[in-house]
Amino acid sequence: MSKFYKSAPLPFQGQKRRYVGEFRRVLGEICDARVFVDLFGGSGLLSHVVKRERPDAVVIYNDFDGYRTRLDNIPRTNALISKLRGIMGG
């Protein structure tokens, strides 16, 4: 991984971006843990931080609401928005 993300690519209710710094600090204090569970994964931001800070860790990520699917649909969503703007004259 070459880029360190500090916020998610799509807005997400309850996003944890404000806590990334504190999360990284606490993560550094938990030296013996090898498995991390992101119960409320949302955008996957904290899972990303764990893998960046601890590449050897196993991360279990809960994507209950299908955030990954929304990311995959960004191009289709943008194309639809573009068509709608053309129809609406804006």
User: Alpha-carbon torsion 67, 73, 78, 84, what sign?
Assistant: negative
Looking at residues 47-60, what average pLDDT do you find?
94
Nearest to 38 by CA among 63, 21, 69: 63
Give phi and psi for 78, each to the nearest 5: -65, -40
- For the chain, the average pLDDT equals 83
- What is residue 67's predicted lDDT score, i.e. its pLDDT? 72
Percent pLDDT > 90 in the chain is 38
Q: Which helix H or strand E contains 61, and what residues bound it?
A: strand 58-61
- What is residue 9's predicted lDDT score, i.e. its pLDDT? 63
Q: Is 14 left (phi over 0), alpha (psi -120 to 50) or beta?
A: left
Does the pLDDT of residue 50 top 90, yes or no? yes
